[in-house]
A and B are shown apart, each in its own frame.
Chain A
Amino acid sequence: MSKCFICKGRSYLLVKFKGKKEKKVEFNLCKNCLEKYNLFLNTGNKRRNNICPVCGYTLKDFKEYRFLGCDFCYEYFFKEVSDYLKKIHINTIYKGKYPVSFKADEKIKKIYFLKGFLIDEIVINGRH
């Protein structure tokens, strides 16, 4: 039985982070940690329309003004925001400080970092 990388509990999930340049990192994670730390946020969420359900800001607004309406817009328009950030910044991988309130230890930060770095493909137990 493999142990969860974060909580050392029982893990049935094998998570693979894959990048374009054949970089691959594997983690054993339990379902609890996967959900608790929202590790798969924005990796395939399908949105119903182009209006942020929280603040009503639209994708058209973003394309026109290059501003976002609220923090949820970053999740809702994830792809568009990511693409835009890649255009305006040399490197978009976040390396700065974490809020005190963001309860994340070094291991979780490492997963987040890899998720940002090897964003191209994430596989759980052989499924995308």
Chain B
Amino acid sequence: MEDISRFFRWNIIEKETDWIYSKLTDVVITSRVRIARNIKGYPFPFNMTVDTGKKIEDILLKLFLNFPSDKVFILNISCLNEKQKNSLIKKHIISREFSENELCDKVVIIPEKKASIMINEEDHLRIQVILPGLNLKKCLKFINEIDDYIDRKIEYAFSPRFGYLTACPTNTGTALRSSVLIHIPGIRFFKKDKMIFKNIEGIGIAIRGFYGEGSLPFGSIFQLSSTESTGKTEKEIIEELESVVKLIKEEEKKCIEEIKNNKNLKEKIKRKFMKIIKEEKENGKLTDFYSILYLSYETGILVIEKNELRNLFFYILENTGKNKNYIFYEKKGKIIKRKLWEKLNV
């Protein structure tokens, strides 16, 4: 199969995948549903030869090239540079493990369905749909459309006893995982997060970091994820998570309102924010700074445009995890700090 990744411009991909963080100022930043599928009669990716991997890749890519949509991008990850790979990881289009695995390097992006499909990751197919805001039902609708299209062309590994068969039995069944990225600086400010998380963990919802399992939270941004893949219908899994998220959303709004109506609390946030801006040496985590920054924006302490906040989010995201604790003392960082100081509603 012809590698088409050399023929497109990277900026088209950047633009076509830009939907992901379009609701950065909502409590629910994104909703994500992913399903795992395998083709009947073939070994699972970790247990197959390179030739079998290529064969599966060919079967699947041919399918996606005929997918009824205006635009279908097939990216060859090994042809991308580090910056481009990181951009896809940040947008949750590919996993870090996928970007590092040399045996699997094809990802399909269908912008119309807000979908990305990793081929030969842990399973032959990992299909995910990410939509901004709380939109799990629509994610499921899009994912079912893609799933049914593939299903009509190839035979899935399926057993009526177990459901969809996956390499790891923890995913077997619906092979579906739904998750949301929530931003709760208000709840964290009042230190209610631990109590809330303890309660929701008890009903089978996992709390994870920004990049999912095994990752760290980004300030007050967490990922809430369903853990049960069997014993429930796809709709039930999604509705369960959605009902919990709605409660958290309400609580966060209450917390923000409480801060807005309380001069002392606003003053406390302002002092915290100014302290970071004034500091000669950076203390604490950069991601935690985003929490204070966002809280200042949300409560009207900091008057900046949504777009500026978005740029700051990406700047911080880009510089996190690189052991760069002092980015605000680089040239670009200093300019940002000065700008923020000017925008402070003192």
Contacts of B41 in A (CB 8 A): 70-71
Q: How distant is the Cα of A91 from the Cα of B38 in the complex, in angstroms?
A: 23
**Contact assessment for B44 and A94 in the assembled complex, using a CB-CB cutoff below 8 Å:** no
Contact of A123 with B by CB under 8 A:
no
User: Distance (Å) between the CB of B261 and the closest chain A CB?
Assistant: 42
How would you classify the secondary structure of chain B's contact residues: helix, strand, loop or mixed? loop
Given A89-B230, A101-B155, answer yes or no on A94-B169 (Cβ-Cβ < 8 Å). Answer: no
Contacts of A68 in B (CB 8 A): 44, 165, 167-169
Binary flags per residue of B29-67, CB closer than 8 Å to A gives 1, else 0? 000000000101111101100000000000000000000
Contact of B233 with A by CB under 8 A:
yes
**Contact assessment for B156 and A94 in the assembled complex, using a CB-CB cutoff below 8 Å:** no
CB within 8 A of A74: which of B152, B165, B204, B232? B165
Contact of A88 with B by CB under 8 A:
yes
CB within 8 A of B160: which of A71, A90, A104? A104
**Contact assessment for A94 and B161 in the assembled complex, using a CB-CB cutoff below 8 Å:** yes
Q: How distant is the Cα of A91 from the Cα of B229 in the complex, in angstroms?
A: 9
**Contact assessment for B169 and A84 in the assembled complex, using a CB-CB cutoff below 8 Å:** yes
Contact of B323 with A by CB under 8 A:
no
**Contact assessment for B148 and A102 in the assembled complex, using a CB-CB cutoff below 8 Å:** no
How would you classify the secondary structure of chain A's contact residues: helix, strand, loop or mixed? loop
Contact of B234 with A by CB under 8 A:
yes
* Interface bracket on A: 35 or more
User: Distance (Å) between the CB of B3 and the closest chain A CB?
Assistant: 28
CB within 8 A of B43: which of A70, A95, A97, A116? A70
User: Distance (Å) between the CB of A71 and the closest chain B CB?
Assistant: 4
**Contact assessment for B44 and A69 in the assembled complex, using a CB-CB cutoff below 8 Å:** yes
Contact of A5 with B by CB under 8 A:
no
**Contact assessment for B169 and A81 in the assembled complex, using a CB-CB cutoff below 8 Å:** yes
CB within 8 A of A67: which of B42, B46, B158? B46
**Contact assessment for A100 and B230 in the assembled complex, using a CB-CB cutoff below 8 Å:** no
Contacts of B231 in A (CB 8 A): 89-95
Contact of B133 with A by CB under 8 A:
no
Residue of A nearest to B237 (CB): A96
User: Interface segment, B70-78, B170-178, B218-226, B251-259?
Assistant: B170-178
**Contact assessment for B204 and A101 in the assembled complex, using a CB-CB cutoff below 8 Å:** no
Q: How distant is the Cα of A109 from the Cα of B40 in the complex, in angstroms?
A: 20
Contact of A55 with B by CB under 8 A:
yes
Q: How distant is the Cα of A68 from the Cα of B163 in the complex, in angstroms?
A: 15
Contact of B159 with A by CB under 8 A:
yes
Residue of A nearest to B160 (CB): A112
Contact of A66 with B by CB under 8 A:
yes
**Contact assessment for B230 and A93 in the assembled complex, using a CB-CB cutoff below 8 Å:** yes
Q: How distant is the Cα of A101 from the Cα of B163 in the complex, in angstroms?
A: 14
User: Distance (Å) between the CB of B258 and the closest chain A CB?
Assistant: 36
**Contact assessment for A57 and B204 in the assembled complex, using a CB-CB cutoff below 8 Å:** no
Contacts of A104 in B (CB 8 A): 160
Contacts of B234 in A (CB 8 A): 96-97
Q: How distant is the Cα of A70 from the Cα of B42 in the complex, in angstroms?
A: 6
**Contact assessment for B148 and A94 in the assembled complex, using a CB-CB cutoff below 8 Å:** no
CB within 8 A of B44: which of A67, A92, A112? A67
Q: How distant is the Cα of A100 from the Cα of B37 in the complex, in angstroms?
A: 14
Contact of A126 with B by CB under 8 A:
no
Contacts of A115 in B (CB 8 A): 160-161
**Contact assessment for A96 and B169 in the assembled complex, using a CB-CB cutoff below 8 Å:** no
Interface residues of A in 84-126 (CB under 8 A from B): 84-85, 88-102, 104, 109, 112-113, 115-116
Contacts of B47 in A (CB 8 A): 55, 57, 67, 69-70
User: Distance (Å) between the CB of B288 and the closest chain A CB?
Assistant: 34
Contact of A2 with B by CB under 8 A:
no
Contacts of B154 in A (CB 8 A): 101
Contacts of A97 in B (CB 8 A): 144, 174, 233-234
Q: How distant is the Cα of A95 from the Cα of B279 in the complex, in angstroms?
A: 56
Contact of B157 with A by CB under 8 A:
yes
Q: How distant is the Cα of A106 from the Cα of B43 in the complex, in angstroms?
A: 30
Q: Which residues of A come within 8 Å of B, CB atoms?
A: 41-42, 54-55, 57, 66-71, 74-75, 81, 84-85, 88-102, 104, 109, 112-113, 115-116
Q: Which residues of B come within 8 Å of A, CB atoms?
A: 38, 40-44, 46-47, 144, 148, 151-152, 154-165, 167-170, 172-174, 176, 204, 228-234, 236
